[in-house]
Amino acid sequence: PAHILGIQAAQQAFPELPQVAVFDTAFHQTMPPHAYHYAIPSTLYTRYGVRRYGAHGTSYRYVAQETAAFLRRDINEMSMVIAHLGNGASITAVKNGRSQDTSMGLTPLEGLVMGTRCGDIDPSIFSFLAANAKMSIDEITEMLNKESGMLGLSNLSNDCRMLEEAAANGHKGAELALDVFAYRLAKYVGGMMVACGSLDALVFT
């Protein structure tokens, strides 16, 4: 909805100006079926499009091209794992310039631990919290997206600069948040190497 508002505002201000929509999921449309399907009833995919779509695609396309140029290699003959790290974080396997797998799924909630997003989590936490904490689906979704990740683990901040400073001063929550973030990222690096089949570059943004 926020993007639509921007488009409409631009149309009003510049009615003759062509506009182009670039979808953040487009780069990941080269993922093979075994990478984007969830192991759920296939009718949910055919009827509702429930699958892994990924995000940060515009960033990955640019970074892959720049990496190949920096290394003076042909992007069509390279395997790279790119970690897009920030408050929203993901990681992608890129082989021959094409996305093979990525950590985000149907929504940006899946995958790495992020600033306020939990990343991978047991889906049964929804029924568990509904039964025991009396939380609604909307409340749980809000918590997993905006109150979790490094903020939730540290009970302090989602800003790595603050967490690193606090950890250096012995803050246990900050130490735990950074440890969990790094550990999950390292596990995903290994997994993305499987998707590439080989590795020429490990790239951090």
Per-residue confidence (pLDDT) for residue 117, from 0 to 100: 98
| CATH number for position 182 | 3.30.420.40
- Say which amino acid occupies 26: A
| Annotated catalytic residue, options 24, 120, 159, 200 | 24
Cα dist. 119→74, 139, 152, 163, 197 in Å? 33, 17, 12, 18, 24
Task: Give me the domain span that covers residue 121.
Answer: 1-204
> What total number of domains does the chain contain?
1
Per-residue confidence (pLDDT) for residue 21, from 0 to 100: 87
Active site annotation includes 24: yes
Per-residue confidence (pLDDT) for residue 164, from 0 to 100: 97
Query: Read out DSSP for 108-174?
Result: TTSSS--SS---S--TTHHHHHHHHT---HHHHHHHHHHS-HHHHHHTS-S-HHHHHHHHHTT-HHH
Residues of the chain with pLDDT under 50: none
